[in-house]
Amino acid sequence: MLKTAIIVSVIGIGLYYFFIPFATGSCEYYGKERLDGKTVIVTGANTGIGKTAAADLAQRGARVICACRSMERCNAAVADIKRETNNVQVVAAKLDLGSMKSIREFAQMFKNTEKRLDILINNAGIGCRNVDKKTEDGFEDRMGVNHLGHFLLTNLLLDMLKQSQPSRIVCLTSLIHWTTTDLDFDNLANHTSTSSCDNYSRSKIANILFVLELSKRLKGTGVTANAVHPGLVQTETLRSARESEGFLATSYTKFMEVVFLLVGNDARRGAQTTVYAAVDPSLENVSGQFLARCKIDTPSPYARDEAVAKKLYDMSLKLVNL
Ligand X SMILES: NC(=O)c1ccc[n+]([C@@H]2O[C@H](COP(=O)([O-])OP(=O)(O)OC[C@H]3O[C@@H](n4cnc5c(N)ncnc54)[C@H](OP(=O)(O)O)[C@@H]3O)[C@@H](O)[C@H]2O)c1
Nearer to ligand NAG, 95 or 279 (CB): 279
- Report whether 60 contacts 40 (CB < 8 A): no
Length in residues, the chain: 322
- Cα separation of 77 and 44, whole Å? 10
318 contacts ligand NAG (rule: CB under 6 A) = no
Fill in the per-residue mask, 78 to 117: x = in contact with ligand NAG (CB under 6 A), - = not in contact.
Answer: ----------------------------------------
- Binding ligand NAG by CB under 6 A: which of 84, 159, 236, 284? 284
Of all residues in the shown chain, the one whose CB is closest to ligand X is 48
27 contacts ligand X (rule: CB under 6 A) = no
Q: Considering only 105-113, 236-244, 250-258, 277-285, which stretch makes contact with ligand X by CB under 6 A?
A: 236-244
Alpha carbon dihedral 249, 250, 252, 257, in 10-degree steps, equals 140
- Binding ligand X by CB under 6 A: which of 47, 201, 224, 316? 47
Strand 119-122 with 290-292, pairing = unpaired
Q: Considering only 44-52, 113-121, 212-220, 248-256, which stretch makes contact with ligand X by CB under 6 A?
A: 44-52
140 touches, from ligand NAG, ligand X, none (C-beta below 5 to 8 Å by class): ligand NAG
Nearer to ligand X, 182 or 236 (CB): 236
Nearer to ligand X, 104 or 310 (CB): 104
Q: Which of 17, 29, 30, 200 is catalytic?
A: 200
Q: Considering only 3-11, 93-101, 212-220, 246-254, which stretch makes contact with ligand X by CB under 6 A?
A: 93-101
Query: How large is the C-alpha radius of gyration of the chain?
Result: 20
Output the CA–CA distances (angstroms, integers) from residue 104 to 64, 117, 118, 138, 250, in the order listed. 19, 16, 19, 17, 37
Q: Considering only 38-46, 82-90, 184-192, 246-254, which stretch makes contact with ligand X by CB under 6 A?
A: 38-46
Residues 154-183 that bind ligand X (CB under 6 A): 172, 174
- Cα separation of 143 and 155, whole Å? 17
- Closest distance to ligand NAG from the beta carbon of 188 (Å): 6
- Closest distance to ligand NAG from the beta carbon of 268 (Å): 27
285 touches, from ligand NAG, ligand X, none (C-beta below 5 to 8 Å by class): ligand NAG
44 contacts ligand X (rule: CB under 6 A) = yes
29 is catalytic: no
Nearest by Cα to 221 from 287, 277, 316: 287
- Cα separation of 276 and 272, whole Å? 6
- Report whether 229 contacts 290 (CB < 8 A): yes
Binding region for ligand NAG (CB under 6 A) = 130, 132, 140, 143, 187, 189-193, 199, 281-282, 284-285
Binding region for ligand X (CB under 6 A) = 43-44, 46-50, 68-70, 73, 95-98, 123-126, 145, 172, 174, 229-230, 232-233, 235-237, 239
Which residues are identified as catalytic? Answer: 200
